[in-house]
Chains A and B, each alone.
Chain A
Amino acid sequence: MKKLHDTWGRSVHFVDVLVRQAHPGPGARAYRTFGEKMADAGRYRWMEAIAWPVLVDDLQGTVHQCYGTLPAPSYLIDIEGRVAFYNLVTHAPTLDRAIVALLDQGGRGIVEGGIDRTPHMLASLVDGWRGLRRGLPDSRWDLGAAAPGMPSAMWLGHQLRPLLVPIALRARPLPPGARAGLVAGAGLIALALVRAAARATPRGR
C-alpha cells in the first residue's frame, strides 16, 4: 500500500479505516472500549508508518459492517462517490491496474470488471505473519485450529520474505516475461522433485 501511495498519492486520496482485531491475542486484545481502539489506531499508524488518514470505526463496526465486514478489503471510489472497483482482499497490483484504468477514463465509472474476488493467498502468506505475531500466542493457535497449517505457512513466508517480496508484495503487476519465467521455474522445480522421488523409490520386486 505504501508503494501504491508513493505512486498514486497525488492523484488519489488514500483512507484507512481501523476495524476489529482480525487475530486477537495477548499482545493485541480485542477492543473493549472506543478509547482503547483510538489509542491502538495511533500505534497502528506509527508502526506501519501510514502517511494517510487512519479513521477509527466505532466499537460495533458500523462502517465496516456496512461495507461488507471482510477483514481487509479495499474500495476504489470514483470522483462522483460511486464504487469503481471492489478488491475483496486488498492486493496492490490489482489496485494499481484499477487506478490506472480509472484515471484513464476521467475518474468516473466502473473499472476492471468492478470486482476482484481472488484470495491472493501468496501475498497473505508472505505478509500475514507481521500481523499474526502481534497477537501471539493465541492468534497463532486460533488460526491453526481454524485453518491447519496456515500459521506455519505464514511463518515460512515471513522467513522467505526477502526472496518472495519482489513477487508477492509488488505494487505493480509482474511483467508478462517475468510471469512466464516464474511458471517455467516452478515447473522445473516440480519436475526435479518428481525425478528425485522416483530415484529414491526402490524398484519393483
Chain B
Amino acid sequence: MTLAHPDDELSLVDLLDRLLAGGVVLTGEVTISLAEVDLVHVSLRALISSVSTLAVGPDPGEGDGA
C-alpha cells in the first residue's frame, strides 16, 4: 500500500468534515447559532462551486479540433 503524506497545510475539506459536523452543539435563547442551518450542505455548496470555478480551464471548444 501507499501511505500518502498530506500537505503540511490541513486540507480544508478534512477540516470542514470535523468542524461543521463535530463539536458540541450549543443552542438556546442566549445563543446565536447556525445549528438549524444545514452547515455541511451549505459549505459543500461553497466548496464545490469554488472547485468548479477552478476547474473551468480553457474553453473546451478551443484546440479540440482533432
Report if A and B associate in a common complex: no
List the interface of chain B (C-beta within 8 A of A). Answer: none
Residues of chain A at the chain B interface (Cβ within 8 Å): none
